[in-house]
Amino acid sequence: MLLPSLATMLILRGEPNPRALAMASAAFDAPSYEADRLARDAEAMAAMQGEADAAFAGLRTPWKWVIRKRIWDYMEEKDIARQPRPVHHRIPNFVGADEAAARLGDLPEFQAARCVKVNPDTPQRPVRQMVLERDKVLLTPQPRLRTGFFSTVSVKDNLPAGGTIADLTNSKGVAEHGTPIGLDAKYAVDLVVVGSTAVCPSTGARVGKGEGFAELEWGILSLMGNLDAASTLVVTTVHDCQVVDDMPGGALTKHDVPVDVIVTPTRVIRVGEGRAPKPSGVYWDLLSPQKLAQIRVLQTLKQRLEAERGAPLPSGPDEKLPPLAERGPRGRGKPRGRGRGGRGRGRTSEPSASL
């Protein structure tokens, strides 16, 4: 099925997002957007500084935090990390992200895809660039779903006069030039690209930065019929040192989304029959009140479903949300790398030495 142009593809029904409408009807206020983004980063940094690592022993899956810290520490120590740094509490950017994106572009599934969902994190920016360069439709979430849902971007519909494709590949460019879409927009996602902190080659289990947005986005898209949970391919691009073999078997929660293909700067790994099952829909019984309170689109969706059912949906247990990323000044802390970690020879046993 060929995707029509966005003008005819997007059927926007339901209650529109006020901010999206304002942005669509008025000139984009880039200084205000950037000021808001930096203010939120400052809030995240202050929250992170007030928390000790021991505070997260009560998280649902503390083993994930052991792996995250190990990988983040290792990537900084070996200078595999790239800006924004430090990479802690982020999907870490890495040496060779461009090469990994190029390898992804050789996959036949990517070449055949027409609409590709890609996370908004820095290491996947080359992937977003490639999606647009190849005249595909890019579907990307608004950061942390805090102001809306998704935006679609294509060269045909969204490239500004005199602009470049690179202008459409960061969050500011998507907010300024992308097409915001609502819960009821009609489109089909052919391929999903996610970022990871660590990923297992035998089960496809992945660990992100701890906020759970990749799983929530997958859940909403599968619930609304925009992707087929059973057949839609999930790919991640990572550094070789992020491929680990010590994730405990059977320890994933039922909403975790495993990957089918792992792409690094040096290789492509296809997960075999041992891949963990993919979820479908939103698991309301796992969604804490704290997480629900952060995400307006989920609140809207839950209210709608409860009205249709005439009964309340279940609610998940309370949880302590993880800290967000600290935005360190460029040039401070670890030196900007010159490729010392560059070819990904770090093995999964090495990061454990940092614990």
In this structure, which CATH number among 3.40.50.10420, 3.30.70.260, 1.10.10.10, 3.40.470.10 belongs to the domain 50-286?
3.40.50.10420
Alpha carbons 207 and 257: distance in angstroms, whole number:
10
State the DSSP code for 168.
Answer: G
Q: Which residues of 204-224 are buried (b: 16+ CB within 10 A; e: fewer)?
A: bbbbbbbbbbbbbbbbbbbbb
C-alpha torsion sign, points 174, 175, 177, 182: positive
The packing angle between helices 296-309 and 213-223, to 10°, is 40
pLDDT of residue 280: 97
Cα–Cα distances (Å) from 349 to 74, 95, 245, 262, in that order, read: 11, 19, 9, 19
Q: Which residue, chain included where needed, has tokens 């454990």?
A: 352
Instruction: Kindly compute the dihedral angle of the four CA atoms of residues 5, 6, 11, 14, in this order, to the nearest 10 degrees.
Output: 180
Pairing mode of beta strands 233-237, 206-207: unpaired
Look up residue 56 and give its amino acid: F
Confidence band (pLDDT; 50, 70, 90) for 325? low
Residues 80-100 have pLDDT tens digits of: 999 999 999 999 999 999 999
pLDDT of residue 294: 87
pTM for the complete prediction?
0.78
**Domain-wise residue ranges, the chain:** 50-286
Residues 140-167 have pLDDT tens digits of: 998 767 667 899 999 999 999 999 999 9
Return the SS3 of 182: coil
pLDDT of residue 4: 40
48 Cβ contact list (under 8 Å, min separation 6): 89, 323, 324, 325, 326
Nearest to 304 by CA among 275, 282, 334: 282
The distance in angstroms from the start CA to the end CA of the chain is: 50
Q: Average model confidence (pLDDT) for the chain?
A: 83
Residues 228-258 have pLDDT tens digits of: 999 999 999 999 999 999 998 777 889 999 9
Confidence band (pLDDT; 50, 70, 90) for 41? low
Spell out where the chain has E strands. 115-118, 137-141, 150-153, 179-181, 191-194, 198-199, 206-207, 233-237, 261-263, 268-270
Look up residue 28 and give its amino acid: F
Alpha carbons 44 and 46: distance in angstroms, whole number:
5
Q: What is the mean pLDDT of residues 278-290?
A: 95
Confidence band (pLDDT; 50, 70, 90) for 268? very high
Nearest to 322 by CA among 204, 205, 208: 208
Alpha carbons 5 and 137: distance in angstroms, whole number:
9
